[in-house]
Amino acid sequence: MSQKKCPRCGAVYAGDAKFCPKDGAPLVSVMEASGSHGAAGSTQIRMAVKPPPTPNDPAKTLRNQILDQRYQVVKKLGEGGMSFVYEAKDISTGESVAVKIMTPKLAQDKVAAERLRREAGLAMRLDHPNICRIQRLGETPEGLIYLVMPLLKGELLSDKEVRDGPIPLDVGVPWMKEVCDALSFAHEQQIVHRDLKPENIFLVPGAGGKIHAIVTDFGLAKEKRAEPGMAKLTATGIILGTPEFMSPEQIRGKLLDGRSDIYALGLVAYEMFSGRLPFEGKSAQDMMIARLRGQPLPLSKARADLVFTPAFEKALMKAIEAEPNDRYQTARELGDALEKAMAGGSGPGLMGKLKGMF
């Protein structure tokens, strides 16, 4: 009997399972998993895993159909454990949009459906140039629940990392500053993202070709002051998020605030600039344990062929302190610190250049 492995937590399953019951990640064959993630203990940039096909799923085959008498579906853009994302055209306006459709199986789950409705309610309030705002929540007569969002033209930060490797500081720091601005705005609205990762940061060309960072998928977003009716969705002890980027307090299932997002963004920046994560482990579970018990690898030791100034390393490492009180207390502080450390440095070492090139 074939075995499948969860690329997130490393658990192995036999039979016809398609998704990990622990974290919802799509499973891959053991052979495929071992061939795509490198040697044991590796902390290389994570490779995207395509979910296995889901037969007889009406949400999977909507191309060229008209959704809810309003959206002409053009093509599928991607899929995950909970949803399918399509490019569509709004017939009433002619606008191109992205439509995120919940899988019918999960749409029938009252808790999952409520989470999606909550996502829409929260994200509709987040009107910021660096946040992908949800425009509409709808439900078809057939019971398909969907979200409508702007269609972003560009690429995921995770895809750029896989293709190009570590990103120079003069390129990446402005993106981090924009993400910090977006998070700062959300935190001021009492909303915590809770699932910040490279796959949720979209790089979009703007005027003059300048690339801007857009934060997407507030699907796990949580109000710091949740209403009583939402308690079962955000209760302490229920761990939601992506294991590689969870803060220690999120791993422990504690109540979260904006400092948890700051920790996650610190890990995102560390990986973006060095090409690896600061905690080693054979699996995502091992790296979660390392975050609870160990110390992060200093940025200056992450890559022997890259050079970072002490000021920049200090600024970034503060974001991933284990104790929330030891981190930056606001996302704006983190963005300002990274920007100041880069501007105040001298020499190409600040830009994360290869040794021997200067």
Count of the separate structural domains present in the chain: 3
Looking at per-residue pLDDT, the higher value among 247 and 112 belongs to 247
Q: Does residue 199 surpass a pLDDT of 50?
A: yes
Q: Which burial class, exposed, middle or buried, applies to 126 when counting CB atoms under 10 A from its CB (0-12, 13-18, 19+)?
A: buried
Point out the domain boundary residue: 150, 170, 191: 150
Is 83 a domain residue? yes
Alpha-carbon gap, residue 41 to 277, rounded angstroms = 11
Stretch 71-75: mean pLDDT: 94
Q: How far is CA 226 from the centre of its chain?
A: 22
Q: Does residue 246 surpass a pLDDT of 70?
A: yes
Which DSSP state fits 294?
S
Please name which of 201, 172, 174 lies closest in space to residue 275, comparing C-alpha atoms.
172
**What pLDDT sits at residue 344?**
67
Q: Does residue 299 surpass a pLDDT of 70?
A: yes
Is 45 a domain residue? no
Is 46 a domain residue? no
**Is this model's pTM higher than 0.95 or not?**
no
Is 141 a domain residue? yes
Please name which of 193, 188, 294 lies closest in space to residue 245, comparing C-alpha atoms.
193
Do 212 and 280 fall within a single domain?
Answer: yes
CATH no. for residue 308?
A: 1.10.510.10
Do 197 and 294 fall within a single domain?
Answer: yes
Alpha-carbon gap, residue 40 to 78, rounded angstroms = 29
Alpha-carbon gap, residue 344 to 340, rounded angstroms = 6
Point out the domain boundary residue: 150, 172, 190: 150
Q: Does residue 88 surpass a pLDDT of 90?
A: yes
Do 336 and 234 fall within a single domain?
Answer: yes
**What pLDDT sits at residue 224?**
55
For 323-347, the pLDDT digits (tens) are 999 999 999 999 999 999 988 643 3
**What pLDDT sits at residue 78?**
84
Stretch 72-100: mean pLDDT: 90
Q: Average pLDDT of the chain?
A: 79
Do 140 and 162 fall within a single domain?
Answer: no
Do 216 and 333 fall within a single domain?
Answer: yes
Do 139 and 189 fall within a single domain?
Answer: no
Which pair of tokens denotes residue 296?
Answer: 């992060």
For residue 213, give the 3-state DSSP assignment: strand
Do 211 and 87 fall within a single domain?
Answer: no
Q: Does residue 6 surpass a pLDDT of 90?
A: no
For 114-125, the pLDDT digits (tens) are 877 776 787 788
Amino acid at 278: P
- For residue 292, what pLDDT band results from cuts at 50, 70 and 90? confident
**What pLDDT sits at residue 20?**
58
Do 23 and 161 fall within a single domain?
Answer: no
Is 356 a domain residue? no
Which pair of tokens denotes residue 174?
Answer: 């402005």
Stretch 288-301: mean pLDDT: 86
Do 87 and 132 fall within a single domain?
Answer: yes
Q: Is 195 a catalytic residue?
A: yes
Active-site annotation holder among 181, 195, 217, 261: 195
CATH no. for residue 79?
A: 3.30.200.20
For 175-198, the pLDDT digits (tens) are 999 999 999 999 998 889 988 999
Do 181 and 310 fall within a single domain?
Answer: yes
Is 108 a domain residue? yes
Domain membership of residue 123 as a residue range = 58-150
For 137-173, the pLDDT digits (tens) are 888 888 888 889 999 999 999 999 999 999 999 999 9
CB 10 within 8 A of CB 284: yes
Do 252 and 346 fall within a single domain?
Answer: yes
Is 79 a domain residue? yes
Do 116 and 225 fall within a single domain?
Answer: no
Please name which of 47, 1, 56 lies closest in space to residue 26, comparing C-alpha atoms.
47
Looking at per-residue pLDDT, the higher value among 335 and 240 belongs to 335
Q: Does residue 207 surpass a pLDDT of 80?
A: yes
Point out the domain boundary residue: 119, 150, 181: 150
- For residue 228, what pLDDT band results from cuts at 50, 70 and 90? very low
Is 41 a domain residue? no
| Least trusted range by pLDDT, from 27-36, 86-95, 204-213, 292-301 | 27-36
Please name which of 107, 97, 94 lies closest in space to residue 57, comparing C-alpha atoms.
107
Alpha-carbon gap, residue 130 to 132, rounded angstroms = 7
Percent of the chain having pLDDT more than 70? 73
Looking at per-residue pLDDT, the higher value among 29 and 91 belongs to 91
